[in-house]
């Protein structure tokens, strides 16, 4: 999957800028905000939004910027909001009582807010709880732009954002596997994750969520359970099976990091993959599904 901006993406961003410009100019006048000097290219040939539209948006903005949680919740749960208000809805993802209606309100805005949501996942000025809930918004979207947004979030600084982006990406591409990143790109992310320092439970879960973008999720979940097992023999079996799935460039650093986290393993006798997998299946519940995003924004 290439990550270079495409012409249609640039065109979409320019259309969004032309859409936002007259509104923000009107809001600047309404709230007496000093805005940066205007861009002539944005002003040429544009008509301002209807006064009724501006009044509705300004009214909604007053609610979103206020402290009345009940009024904010009612607004978010009501009629679809103008996509130009997305930036003012996103901060409410951080409030447990408003997170779910905020998610639904942002979903209802459609593809027009993908750019804003993508930038918010990377924003270090937003609380982690806000950023990590954005993949919950995107999990129901489909298409190349949302795949690109979630793939980009796999490089965010906060692991809780990276992990949820990986889980959301698995959902978005479940029925469209051709949009998944190339295996080499996934493996590079895994190696980078390992290089960041000693693995812990959160980073191990994330590594397996990444691997699930390139390999079979069902068998990977058995390997994950085995790696986390307190039984040294099962850990050895799981690690040997995992080793058989990965190229050397990923296998060597990842297995070394997993052993460092979990402790020594009992050396397993060399067995065919099918036998290793069968041993794991006998040891763990086969009906346990791989981790996925929670049903509610967490």
| Digitized pLDDT (tens) for each residue of the chain, 298 residues in all | 544 555 555 555 545 555 555 566 655 565 544 544 555 554 554 454 455 577 888 889 999 999 999 999 999 999 999 998 999 999 999 999 999 999 999 999 999 999 999 999 999 999 999 999 999 999 999 999 999 999 999 999 999 999 999 999 999 998 888 888 899 999 999 999 999 989 999 999 999 999 999 987 778 888 888 888 888 888 888 888 888 889 999 999 999 999 888 766 555 555 556 667 676 767 666 556 778 888 889 8
Residue 45: its pLDDT value, please?
A: 47
Say whether pTM exceeds 0.85: no
- The Cα-based distances of 70 to 63, 64, 74, 109, 297 in angstroms read 10, 11, 6, 21, 19
Q: What pLDDT, on the 0 to 100 scale, is given for residue 90? A: 96
Q: For residue 140, which of 181, 109, 115, 162 has the smallest C-alpha distance?
A: 109
Determine the Cα–Cα distance for residues 62 and 4; give it in Å rounded to an integer.
38
Query: Which pLDDT belongs to residue 223?
Result: 86
pLDDT on residue 46: 47
**Nearest-angstrom CA–CA distance, 23 and 83:** 11
Q: Residue 286's pLDDT is what?
A: 57
What token pair was written down for 166? 């990986």
pLDDT value of position 188: 96
Q: Counting Cβ atoms within 10 Å, is residue 264 exposed (0-12), middle (13-18) or buried (19+)? A: exposed
Question: How many other C-beta atoms can be found within 10 angstroms of the C-beta atom of residue 69?
Answer: 12
Task: Yes or no: say if 105 and 133 are a contact pair by the CB < 8 Å rule.
Answer: no
Q: How many Cα neighbours within 13 Å face the side chain of 9?
A: 14
> What are the contacts of 65-69 at 24+ separation with CB within 8 A?
69/95, 69/97, 69/98
Where would I find the H helices in the chain? 7-31, 40-43, 51-64, 69-77, 86-89, 96-108, 114-122, 128-138, 144-153, 159-172, 183-195, 201-211, 217-227, 232-245, 248-262, 273-283
Measured CA to CA, the distance from residue 147 to residue 169 in angstroms comes to: 7
Task: Supply the pLDDT for residue 287.
Answer: 55
Q: What whole-number distance in Å separates Cα of residue 110 and Cα of residue 138?
A: 10
Category of 263 on φ-ψ map: left (φ > 0), alpha (ψ -120 to 50) or beta: left
Q: CA 118: distance to chain centroid?
A: 9
């Amino acid at each position: 999957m290439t990550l270079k901006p495409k012409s249609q993406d640039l065109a979409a961003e320019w259309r969004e800028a032309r859409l936002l410009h007259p509104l923000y100019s009107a809001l600047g006048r309404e709230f007496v905000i000093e805005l940066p000097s205007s861009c002539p290219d944005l002003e040429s040939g544009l008509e301002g939004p209807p006064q009724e539209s501006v009044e509705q948006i300004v009214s909604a903005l007053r609610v979103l910027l206020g402290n009345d949680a009940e009024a904010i919740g009612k607004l978010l749960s009501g009629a679809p909001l103008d996509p130009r208000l997305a930036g003012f809805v996103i901060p409410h993802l951080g409030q447990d009582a408003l997170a779910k209606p905020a998610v639904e309100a942002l979903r209802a805005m459609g593809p027009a807010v993908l750019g804003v949501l993508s930038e918010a996942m990377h924003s270090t000025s937003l609380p982690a709880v806000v950023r990590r809930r954005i993949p919950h918004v995107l999990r129901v979207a489909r298409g190349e732009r949302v795949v690109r947004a979630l793939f980009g979030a796999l490089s965010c600084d906060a692991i809780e954002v990276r992990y949820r982006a990986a889980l959301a990406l698995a959902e978005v591409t479940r029925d469209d596997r051709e949009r998944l990143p190339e295996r080499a790109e996934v493996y590079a992310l895994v190696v980078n994750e390992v290089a960041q320092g000693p693995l812990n439970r959160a980073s191990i879960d994330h590594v397996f969520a990444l691997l699930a973008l390139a390999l079979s999720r069902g068998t990977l979940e058995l390997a994950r359970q085995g790696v986390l097992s307190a039984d040294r023999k099962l850990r050895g079996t799981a690690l040997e099976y995992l080793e058989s799935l990965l190229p050397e460039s990923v296998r060597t650093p990842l297995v070394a990091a997993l052993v460092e986290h979990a402790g020594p393993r009992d050396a397993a006798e060399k067995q065919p993959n099918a036998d290793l997998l069968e041993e794991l299946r006998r040891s763990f519940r086969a009906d346990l599904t791989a981790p996925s995003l929670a049903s509610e924004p967490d």
